[in-house]
Amino acid sequence: MATLKDVAALAGVSVKTVSNVVNGYAFVKPENRRRVEEALSATGYRPNLGARNLRRGRTGFVALVLPELVVPYFAELAGLVLGAAQEHEWNVLIEQTLGTREVERDTLASLGPHMIDGAIVSPEALQARDFGELAPGIPVVMLGEHSVDLPIDHVGIDNVEAARVAVAHLIGLGRTRVAAIGAHPHRGTAAQRLEGYRLALADAGLPVRDELVATALNYHRRDGAEAMARLLGAAEPPDAVFCFNDLLAVGAVRAAAERGVRVPSDLAVVGFDNTEEGAYSLPSLTTVAPDKAAIARAAVDLLRRRVDDPERAPEHVRTPFSLEVRESTRGGA
Amino acid sequence: MATLKDVAALAGVSVKTVSNVVNGYAFVKPENRRRVEEALSATGYRPNLGARNLRRGRTGFVALVLPELVVPYFAELAGLVLGAAQEHEWNVLIEQTLGTREVERDTLASLGPHMIDGAIVSPEALQARDFGELAPGIPVVMLGEHSVDLPIDHVGIDNVEAARVAVAHLIGLGRTRVAAIGAHPHRGTAAQRLEGYRLALADAGLPVRDELVATALNYHRRDGAEAMARLLGAAEPPDAVFCFNDLLAVGAVRAAAERGVRVPSDLAVVGFDNTEEGAYSLPSLTTVAPDKAAIARAAVDLLRRRVDDPERAPEHVRTPFSLEVRESTRGGA
DNA sequence: CATCGTTGATACAACGTTGTAAAGCGGCCG
DNA sequence: CGGCCGCTTTACAACGTTGTATCAACGATG
């Protein structure tokens, strides 16, 4: 593997001159520049990023810390972050925490100091106060959970409002027993979506019935199916359900189908995340559609700005969302 | 950020002694070891991986190069590779090629030399001959396509046999007009699965009808739906279809449903990859289930062995698969 | 002609780590 | 007591890069 030294020897100049050419320094005699460039391509020189970073103190890597790649929302988001990061010449290191807070912390603690310029974190178990200790100097952008009181850059949609809109849509169909699937003791987003759910019911003058709010400790298809089964087993089953993500909704739809409950006529279903899976499922899912590309772009931009100026005040970017109405809430009653 | 020097100063020993403690060198006086360890935790020392790697010539990173994270199969696989790599203390750099061969080549060419110890590549557009030039010195393990003639480590299932089993299953249901979706001019796996499809038909004495073989240039849900629409528009539509991945199958099922074709009674469907999405779709998908965990583990192990001994003969690991029979081929006729 | 600023090139040190060689310090054997 | 061996520690160099200081050459300016 060719180094600057090799190239310099071949071109008959000093190492630094080659470095200057590589880095676009202006004052290099055309003749020398030409010879260096020739030598560069002759040797197929590639800078040793490790050495460069050691010198510069930057690494060119950012970490993307998220719960699980098998969750389509995160997979889609990861893909978009990869693309956005590429434009900043950043390579992305993906870290799966599988929902355990130890991993979230260890990852940042071990990678943080030297190997990454910053991190984009989609926290699941991580609590607000963890952030202080985990990465004293590491630029971090947080996704999803919106905790305004934290002095950390943050990108996300207005979860309360999004949930409210989703549930209002169900109520607008004439449904009166609207259930929710996805309550969770430790998740900030869950609390916010539940809040939106309550708001929508209150707006419509409907009571919040505890037996219609189903907890889901994970947000996988299985959890949605189990929660739906429980809801349908009740004395007065729901005629609509708002699921806190599309996977829960997919599971709910299946559980309904297995019990002969028809969607949407017997049960209207709304999901969250607008995953492609929901668009193709039978019936296709009405869902809250966050602008994932905007989230990814905003997160990377925010991280770039923080890396360039660590002293700037933390910013909270609110990205848009829309409600995608599909078969799971269309027609029927 | 504390360095070895800081720790050494605090403990009153040389830098190298600290380094020795950190690296588990045996001959350090207990007394010194104790003081060093104290100083280590007092300063919260973290090795600068960049510098370490510069010295060692290893980076602790491996690249996982794959077409797209939004394809559930790749997302699931990526998650498993992440886990397997963790056990080797490797960090994984995920690179999306979006199916363009330039990216596949550029990625390896630019990351290869210095930033990664090796790469696990799931090639899409990449041709066999590209491999020679792209990464002269980089240890590479290839996934999926099985080209025995290449001197490169490789992990995958027997695609021909897997496809044969899948189609034989359809024929076993009494179906006689079995279609295939997923033919592709440049994909090795597509060719192999098509071969298996032909073998199964031949075994059963059925003719291979060109009009029942649908091309799909991408393997997304949309492509499956479009291909199915074409097949169903034919004079004599199929009564069964083998899709080269689950996404195509999901799209095919939807296209069928939109035309009032019932699955499985009018049309039996088999997919490939055993994604969780297929297990929950309505109807749930019969599918070829490769042992993804085994693939991930084998790929990482193989890469580890190649990195440790670059001279060893390339190996081809064949991982097991099974046929997961579900609703899309159960009952009906 | 002396001085100065600009252009162009270079040597050197430094980033933080680890391998190498060597040296200090015992104790043990002859 | 001299020499040798094993344990323990250290100084030094090196990995490949880039910032700083320096130096040389040159034309322009006073």
Give the per-residue pLDDT at B29: 84
A31 CA vs D28 C1’ separation (Å): 24
Q: Give residue B129's pLDDT band: very low, low, confident or very high (50, 70, 90).
A: low
- Provide the β-strand partners of residue A296: none
Nearest-by-Cβ selection for A280 from B61, B75, B251: B251
- For residue A245, what are its two tokens? 């993500």
Instruction: Give me chain A's average pLDDT, please.
Output: 88
Say which residues have a Cβ less than 8 Å from residue A333's Cβ, sequence separation at least 6.
A173, A174, A265
Q: Is the pLDDT of residue A252 over 90?
A: yes
β-strand partners of B178: B240
* A75 contacts B72? CB cut-off 8 A: yes
| Phi, psi for residue B116 in degrees, rounded to 5 | -130, 150
The closest of A192, A143, A98 to A292, measured between CA atoms, is A143
- Rounded to a whole number of angstroms, the distance from the CA of A304 to the nearest CA of chain B is 19
Give strand letter and number of the nucleotide nearest B6 (CA to C1'): C16
Nucleotide showing the shortest C1' distance to residue A30 CA: C8
Give the Å distances, CA to CA, from B263 to B117, B239, B257. 48, 10, 8
Dihedral over alpha carbons B34, B36, B40, B41 (to 10 degrees): 20
Nucleotides of strand C within 7 Å of the protein's CB atoms? 7-12, 14-20
Structure-token pair, residue A302: 């925010």
Rounded mean pLDDT, A83-92: 86
Q: What is residue A133's predicted lDDT score, i.e. its pLDDT?
A: 54
What pLDDT does A46 receive? Answer: 85
Mind telling me how many Å the CA of B111 is from chain A's nearest CA?
9
- Express each pLDDT in B305-327 by its tens digit: 988 887 888 899 999 999 999 99
Kindly report which listed range (A39-43, A55-59, A329-333, B167-171) carries the lowest average pLDDT score: A329-333
Q: What is the pLDDT of residues B197-226, one digit of tens each?
A: 999 999 999 999 999 999 999 999 999 999
Chain A residues touching B110 at Cβ < 8 A: 46
Of B68, B79, B114, the CB nearest to A70: B79
pLDDT, position B266 = 96
Q: How far, in Å, CA of B57 to CA of B51, rounded?
A: 10
Q: Name the band, by pLDDT with cuts 50, 70 and 90, for residue A168.
A: very high
Among B123-137, B189-203, B312-326, which is the least confidently predicted range?
B123-137
Question: Nucleotide D17: nearest residue by CA–C1'?
Answer: A52
Which pLDDT belongs to residue B22? 86
Contacts of A304 (CB under 8 A, 6+ apart): A88
- pLDDT, residue A181, reads 98
List CB contacts (< 8 A) between A50 and chain B. Answer: 50, 53-54, 59, 114-115
For the entire predicted model, the pTM comes to: 0.88
pLDDT band at A32 (very low <50, low <70, confident <90, very high): confident
Decide which of B100 and A68 is more confident. A68
Q: How far is A283 from chain B (nearest CA, A)?
A: 9
- In this prediction, residue A60 carries a pLDDT of 81
Residue A251 near residue A218, CB atoms below 8 Å: no
Asked if A48 and B54 come within 8 Å (Cβ–Cβ), the reply is: yes
Residue that is written with structure tokens 């021909």 in the block = B160
Round the average pLDDT of chain B to a whole number and report it.
Answer: 89
Q: Please give the pLDDT value at position B333.
A: 44
- What pLDDT does residue B126 have? 57
To 10 degrees, the CA torsion angle through A318, A322, A323, A326?
Answer: -140
